[in-house]
Chain A
Amino acid sequence: MTTHEASFVRASMVEASPAPILESGIVFWLRKNLFATPKDTALTIISLLVLAWLVPPAIQWLFIDAAWTGGGRGVCATVAQGGSQPDGWSGACWAFVNAKFSQFLFGRYPMDERWRPALVGILFVLFLVPMLMPKVPYKGLNAVLMLVALPIIATILLPGGWFGLTYVETPLWGGLLVTLALSFVGIAVSLPLGILLALGRRSDMPVIKMLCTVFIEIVRGIPLITVLFMASVMLPLFLPQGVTFDKFLRALIGVSLFASAYMAEVVRGGLQAIPKGQYEGADSLGLSYWQKMNLIVLPQSLKLVIPGIVNTFIGLFKDTSLVSIIGMFDLLGIVRLNFSDTNWASAVTPVSGLIFAGFVFWLFCFGMSRYSGFMERVLDRSQR
């Protein structure tokens, strides 16, 4: 029996030595992400060169050289063009956006009455923010405020004509007000209508099924602008003499119907993803059709297609800009209308106005897509 004689036994663990310099830290990150292969290195260098060529001039144009304040086109035009800027100057004309800002928000809504859309806007934000936060309680009450109270308040306040409020006709509405109003109503109408159409398309009744399919396929096959044309030229033909629709209302109908056809296809995808067992289980419990749909199928399928639904909302929000073609002044329309203001006409005014409008649209759409990603994660967690 030989016993192993150990002269030294370590009682504690050895400290881990730091990773080699090439395998950690910023050098490692750079090597791995930017200079992994010769091809990568070349791509990195090219992209850096392109960025160096594009970004500093863009910052210069957008911020440093930009005209921020001023009361007329003079601040945005060079001396040769009759302004005060040195020759060869080019920069964003934020003074234009600054001066027209309230018009971009409310359009040609009368000055004295602008507290009305502003109030509706504040209420909208007040109701929307708690609605969007999953942890805030009283979701039911909140939904009622948002979907019932707000539309009623808005219908009373915005056009007026009741309770001593002066009547403001819709052609005077404009700017972000019109964009948001169209999108809000479009979203509120297209989701339920789209669900109904999707259910109809999957119905057992051949007549209902055919009608829904034909409607969905025709609307999806044609551009929105033709739908808006139909709403503005065909609708008056279809109605009896003397009955007229407001132009705003016609655009609203066009946009909502258009979005609901797309919504229907999204919802149909969700309905198809639910296993047949769920339908059969509901049937065997003796639930009626609407109970089956409301309690079993729709809650599951709508959760599945949240990204698609939000994408449709984003599409609808972007599509509202098309109403400027049929002569309404949404955000894009009112910005373009102001290009022709001789007080502000300069070479850089259109670009500045369009960049501003683009930024506002971008902010809303990007916000929506980010929120949908967040909501997906929240719902995903609760499922586990």
Chain B
Amino acid sequence: MAIGVTNAPEKSKSSGSIINDPQVRGIFYQAITIIILAVLIYWIVDNTIENLRRANIASGYGFLRSRAGFDVGQSLIAFTSDSSYGRALVVGFVNTLVVAITGIVTATIIGFLVGIGRLSHNWIIAKLSLAYVEVFRNIPPLLVIFFWYSGVLAVLPQAREALALPFNVFVSNRGVAFPRPIFGEGAEYTILAFLIAAAASFLVARYANRRQAATGQRFPVLWTALGLLIGLPLITFLATGAPLTFDVPIAGKFNLTGGSVVGPEFMSLYLALSFYTAAFIAEIVRAGIRGVSKGQTEAAHALGIRPRLTTRLVVVPQAMRIIIPPLTSQYLNLTKNSSLAIAIGYADLVAVGGTILNQTGQAIEVVSIWLIVYLSLSLATSLFMNWYNAHMALVER
């Protein structure tokens, strides 16, 4: 027994070998990783410098200032082939933003409708929504884009036989032509009136909330806001002498002239992204609404709250909490999928970058611009959505 006691400290000392110390091991593994990584990076940089020297490509972002020499099909800001590469990239970026934002809005609307439809008690609506989701979720977005582009939009009639829709909208295989509003003198007052109305509605809503919290009396916020938002700009518009004319597209002998034209590239990309992403949003919405436990609805009914108010005040706020995080990632997916534009020649950031890359061979610079832009878009969207999420999150007492 005495022997055992005297041996004990010695034993624990011998088992504390430095090889078995998890901390030492950790440092060792990390050191090895860093060394391997450093060697790899050195090797890559060395090879790249050598390859660039051999191909006579000057690295750096100086090429952004030189003349682009190519034209961009559709751009919101002025661009000619004499503009610089840098401006071409900005045009591409704006186009990416346009298709992403319009796509997000449309996908959200379709997605919410279909998602709610899947929960409908109406058998036929539920089955139709299910069919929509199952069809679009399981087909590559690129294929949907091609379907719209070479399947539907390309077989539309030619421009001179364009389909005429109401309000002077013409649909042909060159895209959708619609009247372009031309703002005359004093139009800015209408916009100003609209802004004032928006601010006033916001204040009214806040006042109504406070009053209801304090006295229990309700205030017709929706109607007041609608009246303000529509009435005030309308009155201003008429008071300033209706300073708005339209440049209407006219079907000529060979082509439509005048008006604004949205090209088939944008239309197919926009439609495909909206329909494809909407299928995913629908599933998220369904999961969100189903995620609110039935007890919540029942409790609201027991308190005597009517079904419509239950939905608005009890179910939706809780469902949004479940919906928002995955919805964010769908928005990001849509933004990233907009890069499929390159397949049909819509001049988004990747398509313009690809053209520049082919012309100048500045692969590293162009790819780095892509990385920075897409990463910052991702970051901005997730920051905004995190803020919104925190705003909506459960406040635990």
Residues of A within 8 A of B (CB): 32-34, 36, 40, 43-44, 47-48, 51, 204-208, 211, 218, 220-226, 229-230, 233-234, 236-241, 314, 318-319, 321-322, 324-325, 332, 336, 339, 347-348, 350-351, 354-355, 357-358, 361-362, 365-366, 369
Contacts and interface: CB of A to CB of B under 8 A. Distances in A.
A32 B122 CA distance: 8
Interface of B: 26, 29-30, 33-34, 37, 44, 47-48, 50-52, 54, 120-125, 128, 134-135, 137-144, 146-147, 150-152, 154-155, 332, 336-340, 342-343, 350, 354, 357, 363-364, 367, 370-371, 374-375, 378-379
B155 A351 contact: yes
A332 B142 contact: yes
21 contacts: A33-B124, A34-B122, A40-B121, A43-B122, A44-B122, A205-B26, A205-B30, A211-B37, A233-B367, A237-B51, A237-B363, A240-B47, A241-B51, A318-B139, A318-B141, A322-B340, A325-B340, A325-B342, A350-B154, A354-B143, A358-B139
A110 B22 CA distance: 57
B138 A208 contact: no
B33 A208 contact: yes
Given A208-B29, A234-B364, A366-B138, A226 B370 contact: yes
Contact of A208 (B30, B139, B141): B30
A229 B364 contact: no
Contact of B350 (A223, A236, A241): A223
A358 B141 CA distance: 10
A357 B143 contact: yes
A351 B128 CA distance: 23
Given A226-B350, A237-B47, A357-B143, A369 B138 contact: yes
A88 B242 CA distance: 47
B151 A354 contact: yes
Contacts of B332: 221
A211 B33 contact: yes
Contacts of A223: 336-340, 350, 374
The 4 closest A-B pairs by CB, nearest first: A365-B138, A33-B123, A223-B339, A223-B336
Contacts of A324: 142, 343
Nearest to B23: A204
Contacts of A220: 378
Contacts of B52: 237
Main SS class of interface, B: helix
Contacts of A365: 137-139
Contacts of A314: 138
A221 B143 CA distance: 23
B337 to A, nearest CB: 7
Contact of B122 (A40, A204, A205): A40
Contacts of B143: 321, 332, 354, 357-358, 361
Contacts of B363: 233-234, 237
B34, B125, B141 — most chain A CB neighbours (10 Å): B125
A10 to B, nearest CB: 40
A51 B131 CA distance: 13
Contact of A222 (B30, B48, B51, B336): B336
Contacts of A336: 146, 150
A36 B52 CA distance: 72
Contacts of A355: 147, 151
B340 to A, nearest CB: 7
B36 to A, nearest CB: 11
A47 B371 CA distance: 45
B33 A351 contact: no
A354 B51 contact: no
A33 B151 contact: no
Given A222-B375, A237-B363, A361-B138, 19 more contacts: A33-B121, A34-B122, A40-B122, A43-B122, A206-B30, A221-B378, A223-B339, A237-B48, A237-B52, A240-B47, A241-B51, A318-B140, A324-B142, A325-B343, A332-B146, A351-B152, A354-B151, A355-B147, A358-B147
A354 B147 contact: yes
A280 to B, nearest CB: 15
Given A47-B125, A238-B48, A332-B140, A226 B34 contact: no
Contacts of A347: 155
Nearest to A232: B363
Contacts of B128: 47, 51
B121 A47 contact: no
Contacts of B343: 324-325
A370 to B, nearest CB: 10
A36 B54 CA distance: 76
A95 B146 CA distance: 20
B151 A36 contact: no
B50 A240 contact: yes
